[in-house]
Structure 1
Amino acid sequence: MSDVMIAVSQVSKSVTDSTGTLTILRDIDFTVRRGETVAIVGASGSGKSTLLSIVAGLDTPTQGTVHIDGTDLFALDEDRRAALRAAKVGFVFQSFQLLANLTALENVMLPLELAGRRDARAAATAMLQRVGLGERLGHYPKVLSGGEQQRVALARAFVVRPAVLLADEPTGSLDFATGEAVMALMFELNREQQTTLVLVTHDRGIAARCERRITVAAGRVADISSGAATAAA
């Protein structure tokens, strides 16, 4: 088994409209080891969220390849990419992406039910208890605070024990104290499950908690450096 969980090679992304061609990403190369924590940082508009979407197979590159656990994402059709994501990848978004018509418990049960798990209710209940929401199982997103909604999103992501967790500005909609608590929980769950974590953030403090930082500037990788997590290891 290879030590590399994610391999991004020569990835570029351009879009063309009536005003011409805009290059969003150019010749991006990096790898992420199994169990590693990596932060993608950069100014707004640098291309980091587009890069994360391509790593997830939610967007397609103009050129280049992305391998997840040895599988070439873009050699697969959309259905097979979706199946790979369901099997190996969890997501946490800035905007939570909870289904408003489902309770907290039902939101966390959903990926388990889609995977055919017969223990979906018990597993989802246990994970919500793990993130401190055991008393909020029957509550709908609209009556949950931002921090509670993001903890539901964390529970939904981790309940399937993904090999890879991708997080896009996970504290962007939260105040500082709530964001700190959510990130502490995310890193704790990540350590417990030994997940490979790649997160996009503008927060240098959060980035420093990862083992490596990849800085994207004007669509290119400007720097790859070790974080405080590596220095403290």
Structure 2
Amino acid sequence: MRTFHISAELWRCLRAPIQGARGLVVALLALAITGCASSMSRVETWEGSPAGAADAATLKAPGEIQVSEVNGRTVGNFLMDDLALDYALLPGQNEVVFTYKTIWAKTEVVDNGESKVHVVESEPQVVRFDAQPNEVYTFLFDKPGTKVEAEQMAAAFSATVVGGEGAPVAKSSEWDPAQVAGRTPIPAATAAQISAGDASALDTLKAVWETASEEEKKAFLRWAFE
């Protein structure tokens, strides 16, 4: 479940008087485009209330970085593609899938109905690193000055994830969907119970389900209902 924390500024935007249908549309557009939208906090990349959530790390993604999956869980599909977002990561090994995407205005005359912008996008990238509790991580990459430079960069794109002190912790590479997605390990207490045989079959299934990727969950459900 994707969770947003509403700040005081966003709450004031939502409570502002709205006059009629047109006012509602204007208010929604303002919410999406102005500072109200930027008031949204971190996107949680897990479901439920796992251990370590209170000490989650933060991965800051600028507008050019479109994160689609974290540990096999879909976190994309936002209304605006160029939002700068923060992603909360559970401490431990994390796998982040993303693309690099920039938009450039067309200088030539365009026909009616034709897009007025060029979209430059890389192939999906993946970066894997060990997130430390409460640490803040950022994507580091070159900033092109022209569409041609952006196209050249996107063709062989790679970004570096750096920690709070600016030290690099991982470098991205082209993502292979056939690879098994990384996931946060089963909590130590639950893993110990499973090893000792103290956990029930239901407890074991729940623990494994929390760490499974979306593809693994789909495959299990297909098997279960055959």
TM-score with structure 1 length normalisation? 0.22
TM-score with structure 2 length normalisation? 0.23
Structure with higher helix content: 1
Which structure carries more relative contact order (alpha carbon 8 Å, separation 6+)? 1
